[in-house]
């Protein structure tokens, strides 16, 4: 699927730089040692605003839930409708979710609860983006 | 005069606040609605500002007060969530020049300021208090109730309007660009429609409790039926079509398991109310409907989208706040009238309230029983957004009209309308008002 290209801004640059190196990093608050995603300027738990790291993740997770998108508002994705849109829970912290189109999984045949691993796919402008595939063995 | 946004302190977000200090001392009296339409046709007399003026004037007349008696105005300034004036598109100068303008040329066309309304309603000569309750009518109601209770205004108009333009909702701006800014891209590259998050929660609900999308059909039929008895609503005014079970189940998917009818239809509309102190309201034209409490939910999900556990915890917490501040229990609710846009989360509100003793996982079974306005357990007598189009207003109007005994063909007959609660929008993040036919 052809996702929109990404133009990293100052705030998100570390996330996208890591993706281009095929590494998954998630924002972590150094004050309370809590991951948060989506990233934010302040910690949604303790309120700290200036002590974050981008913490490497294992790249393993589980399919928590999914829907099937038949009417997508994003123009570039419309030619691929219908498509799966799943939510992945990270093994590092099941409270942290990431979206996935689950490449290779038939539409509406998603194995909820299955183990997945991160992969990286190019977007329309070549920026790599984290995606997830089912671990089959 | 520059209108401020309501401070956080005006909302009752926490548990343990006790009975609302103004319980029964603030009342809604007048109701007014502007005409609905599917999209703006470009004429001055149908722009969002114009229909808002109509709604406000109707609310004033309905309450039977002179315009100069009004000293407050609470406005929701944003009038859409998904229909935006395209950058670079020529401004509608003929429309703009038909009104007294503010510094923003799209004021009255794609947004609303209190200043614009006052500039175009010269009869409101005594408005000293203006405030924004951003978001929904539900927010604005909480702000207006608190403002009247606090003595910031004694006779206050509160209004929420929606515009809708040509083109498809949400399919503009960043969604049609080839690239996204990096921060937004972290969550938006995957293209979930607006109803996607609710669809996820509903899917998890069905898996956990062994329910199906098909079980929504009675609720949808009932909601459209009630909406067709709502003369202020879009479907009643323009497309008086019942929504049968087969129609509902055959509709195309938007974000499965949310289909077309689970997504509310964007429209133009305006709804307005006149609030006053209980003392002043006693002398007005309509029967006062007293406000027993207002409560808010400001919870956020831990990550991208609320889990079912988060939804259920928050709706239960919201219900505790609603009941605590009003000094009531679930047993006091005459009917259920929470928000429904999207339809697939209505059951979360209903279960959180514990309406008629319903527990988590039981609402879809409850939908298979008699939930009509004629029965003992009315659900969504307003018909909500399903019944009247996207507004987040209908349930409030309906609560007021039901308790005043003037809901017309929609009037509940299986129960005595005494106490109700309305609000929303989302299970995580909403504002709620408790209404009563009596100040006690």
Q: What is the CATH number of the domain that holds B109?
A: 3.40.47.10
What value does the mean pLDDT take over residues B336-365? 98
Domain ranges of chain A: 13-134
In terms of residues, how long is chain A? Answer: 137
DSSP A110-123: --TT-EEEEEEEE-
pTM of this structure: 0.97
Whether residues B199 and A36 touch (CB distance < 8 A) is answered with no
- Return the structure tokens found at B64: 């039977």
Residue of B nearest to A70 (CA): B254
pLDDT digits (tens, 9 = 90+) for A61-81: 999 999 999 999 999 999 999
Q: Parallel, antiparallel, or unpaired for β A5-7 and B129-132?
A: unpaired
Report the percentage of chain A scoring pLDDT > 90. Answer: 96
Find out whether A8 and A16 touch, Cβ atoms under 8 Å: yes
User: Which residues does B97 contact at the CB level (< 8 Å), separation at least 6?
Assistant: none
Q: For residues A112 and B383, give the distance between their C-alpha atoms in angstroms, rounded to a whole number.
A: 34
Banded pLDDT at A50 (limits 50, 70, 90): confident
Q: Which candidate, B104, B105, B108, B111, places its Cα nearest to that of B84?
A: B111
Whether residue B67 is predicted with pLDDT greater than 80 in this model: the reply is: yes
C-alpha to C-alpha distances, B1 to B124, B128, B197, nearest whole angstrom: 14, 9, 40
Q: For residues B213 and B208, give the distance between their C-alpha atoms in angstroms, rounded to a whole number.
A: 13
C-alpha to C-alpha distances, B143 to B5, B131, B152, B397, nearest whole angstrom: 10, 8, 11, 17
Whether residues B191 and A69 touch (CB distance < 8 A) is answered with yes
Whether residues B203 and A3 touch (CB distance < 8 A) is answered with no
Q: Parallel, antiparallel, or unpaired for β A5-7 and B179-181?
A: parallel
A58 touches chain B (CB under 8 A): no
B298 touches chain A (CB under 8 A): no
**How far A101 CA sits from the closest chain B CA (Å)?**
7
Torsion of CA B193, B199, B201, B204, to 10 degrees: -130
Residue of B nearest to A64 (CA): B204
Residue of A nearest to B257 (CA): A67
In a domain, B114, yes or no: yes
Q: For residues B153 and B145, give the distance between their C-alpha atoms in angstroms, rounded to a whole number.
A: 10
Q: Suggest the residue from B183, B200, B313 to mutate for an interface test with chain A (most A CBs closer than 10 A).
A: B183
In a domain, B407, yes or no: no
pLDDT of residue A1: 87
Whether residues B187 and A13 touch (CB distance < 8 A) is answered with no
What value does the mean pLDDT take over residues A7-17? 96
Residue of B nearest to A1 (CA): B190
Whether residues A67 and B196 touch (CB distance < 8 A) is answered with yes
pLDDT of residue A137: 72
Q: For residues B230 and B28, give the distance between their C-alpha atoms in angstroms, rounded to a whole number.
A: 19
Q: Which chain A positions have a beta carbon within 8 Å of B193's beta carbon?
A: 69, 71-73
pLDDT of residue A93: 98
pLDDT of residue B259: 98
Q: Which candidate, B178, B177, B191, B180, places its Cα nearest to that of A9?
A: B180
Does the ipTM surpass 0.95? yes
A128 touches chain B (CB under 8 A): no
What value does the mean pLDDT take over residues B202-231? 98
Tokens 């915890």 sit on residue:
B313
Average pLDDT, chain A: 96
The per-type count for chain A, helices as H runs and strands as E runs, is: 1, 9
Number of domains in chain B: 1
Count of CB pairs separated by less than 8 Å, A with B: 136
In a domain, B162, yes or no: yes
Banded pLDDT at B430 (limits 50, 70, 90): very high
pLDDT digits (tens, 9 = 90+) for B118-130: 999 999 999 999 9
Q: Suggest the residue from B176, B181, B185, B199 to mutate for an interface test with chain A (most A CBs closer than 10 A).
A: B185
pLDDT of residue B423: 98
pLDDT digits (tens, 9 = 90+) for B289-328: 999 999 999 999 999 999 999 999 999 999 999 999 999 9
Banded pLDDT at B87 (limits 50, 70, 90): confident
pLDDT of residue B1: 67
Whether residues B193 and A100 touch (CB distance < 8 A) is answered with no
Q: Which chain A positions have a beta carbon within 8 Å of B256's beta carbon?
A: 67-70, 82, 108
Report how far apart the first and last C-alpha atoms of chain B are (Å, whole number).
Answer: 37
pLDDT digits (tens, 9 = 90+) for B24-55: 999 999 999 999 999 999 999 999 999 999 99
Residue of B nearest to A16 (CA): B182
In a domain, B319, yes or no: no
SS (H, E, C) chain B: CCCCECCHHHCCCCCCCCCCCCCCCEEEEEEEECCCECCCCCCHHHCHHHHHHHHHHHHHHHHCCCHHHCCEEEECCECCCCCCCCCCCCCCHHHHCCCCCCCCCCECCCECCHHHHHHHCCCCCCCCEEEECCCCHHHHHHHHHHHHHHCCCCEEEEEEEECCCCCCCCCCHHHHCCEEEHHHHHHHCCCCCCCHHHHHHHHHHHHHHCCCHHHHHHHHHHHHHHHCCCCCCHHHHHCCCCCCHHHHHHCCEEEECEEHHHCCCECEEEEEEEEEEHHHHCCCCCCCEEEEEEEEECCCCCCCCCCHHHHHHHHHHHHHHHHHHHCCCHHHCCCEEECCCCHHHHHHHHHHHCHHHCCCCCHHHHCCCCCCCCCCCCECCCCHHHHHCECCCHHHHHHHHHHHCCCHHHCCCCCCCCEEEEEEECCCCEEEEEEECCCC
What value does the mean pLDDT take over residues A16-43? 97
Tokens 């009037």 sit on residue:
B411
**With a CB-CB cutoff of 8 Å, which residues 59-118 of chain A face chain B?**
64-77, 82, 85, 87, 95-101, 108, 112
Average pLDDT, chain B: 97
Q: Which chain A positions have a beta carbon within 8 Å of B175's beta carbon?
A: 73-75
Triad A65, B429, B75: Cα angle to 5°: 140
pLDDT of residue A19: 98
Region for residue B16 given its phi and psi (left: phi exceeds 0; alpha: psi -120 to 50; beta: otherwise): left
Find out whether B380 and B336 touch, Cβ atoms under 8 Å: yes
pLDDT digits (tens, 9 = 90+) for B268-299: 999 999 999 999 999 999 999 999 999 999 99
Whether residues B182 and A13 touch (CB distance < 8 A) is answered with yes
Residue of B nearest to A100 (CA): B190
Q: Which chain B positions have a beta carbon within 8 Å of A95's beta carbon?
A: 302-303
Q: Range of B124's domain? A: 8-167+266-281
DSSP lists the bridge partners of residue B107 as B111
Q: Which chain A positions have a beta carbon within 8 Å of B177's beta carbon?
A: 4
pLDDT digits (tens, 9 = 90+) for B379-416: 999 999 999 999 999 999 999 999 999 999 999 999 99
In a domain, B295, yes or no: no
């Amino acid at each position: 699927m052809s996702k929109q290209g990404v133009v990293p801004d100052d705030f998100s640059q570390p996330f996208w730089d890591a993706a281009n190196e095929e590494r998954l990093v998630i924002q972590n608050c150094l004050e309370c040692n809590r991951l948060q995603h989506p990233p934010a300027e302040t910690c949604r738990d303790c309120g700290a605003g200036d002590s974050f790291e981008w913490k490497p993740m294992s790249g393993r997770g589980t399919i928590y839930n999914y829907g099937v998108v038949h009417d997508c508002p994003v123009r570039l994705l419309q030619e691929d409708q219908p498509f799966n849109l799943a939510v992945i829970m990270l093994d590092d912290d099941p409270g942290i979710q990431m979206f996935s189109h689950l490449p290779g999984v038939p539409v509406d045949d998603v194995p909820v609860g299955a183990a997945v691993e991160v992969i990286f796919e190019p977007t329309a402008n070549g920026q790599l983006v984290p995606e997830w595939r089912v671990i089959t063995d | 005069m520059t209108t401020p946004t309501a401070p956080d302190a005006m909302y009752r977000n926490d548990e343990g606040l006790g009975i609302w200090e103004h319980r029964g001392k603030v009342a809604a009296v007048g109701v007014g609605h502007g005409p609905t339409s599917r999209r703006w046709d470009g004429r001055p007399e149908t722009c969002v500002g114009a229909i808002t003026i109509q709604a406000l004037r109707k609310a004033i007349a309905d309450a039977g007060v002179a315009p100069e008696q009004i000293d407050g105005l609470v406005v929701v300034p944003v009038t859409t969530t998904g229909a935006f004036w395209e950058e670079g598109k020529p401004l509608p100068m003929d429309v703009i020049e038909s009104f007294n303008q503010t510094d923003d040329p799209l004021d009255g066309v794609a947004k609303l300021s209190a200043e614009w309304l006052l500039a175009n309603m010269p009869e409101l000569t005594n408005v000293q208090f203006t405030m924004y309750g951003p978001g929904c009518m539900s927010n604005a109601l909480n702000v207006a109730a608190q403002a009247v209770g606090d003595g910031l205004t004694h006779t206050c108009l509160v209004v929420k309007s929606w515009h809708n333009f040509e083109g498809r909702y949400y399919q503009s701006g960043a969604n049609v660009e080839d690239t996204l800014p990096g921060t937004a891209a972290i969550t938006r590259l995957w293209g979930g429609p607006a109803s996607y998050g609710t669809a996820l929660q509903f899917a998890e609900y069905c898996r956990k409790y062994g329910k199906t999308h098909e079980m929504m059909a009675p609720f949808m039929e009932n909601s459209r039926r009630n909406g067709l008895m709502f003369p202020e609503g879009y479907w009643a005014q323009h497309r008086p079509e019942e929504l049968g079970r087969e129609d509902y189940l055959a509709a195309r998917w938007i974000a499965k398991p949310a289909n077309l009818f689970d997504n509310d239809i964007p429209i133009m509309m305006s709804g307005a109310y006149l609030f006053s102190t209980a003392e002043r309201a006693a002398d007005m034209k309509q029967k006062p409907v007293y406000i027993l409490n207002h409560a808010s939910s400001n919870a956020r999900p831990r990550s991208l989208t609320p889990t079912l556990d988060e939804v259920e915890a928050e709706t239960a917490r919201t219900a505790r706040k609603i009941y605590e501040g009003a000094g009531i229990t679930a047993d006091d609710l005459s009917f259920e009238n929470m928000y429904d846009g999207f339809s697939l989360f209505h059951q979360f509100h209903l279960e959180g309230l514990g309406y008629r003793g319903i527990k988590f996982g039981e609402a879809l079974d409850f939908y298979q029983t008699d939930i009509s306005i004629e029965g003992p357990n009315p659900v969504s007598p307003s018909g909500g957004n399903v019944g009247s189009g996207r507004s987040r207003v209908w349930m409030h109007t309906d609560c007021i009209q039901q308790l005043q005994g003037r809901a017309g063909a929609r009037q509940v007959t299986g129960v005595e309308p005494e106490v109700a609660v309305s609000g929303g929008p989302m299970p995580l993040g909403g504002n709620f008002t408790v209404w009563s036919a009596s100040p006690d």
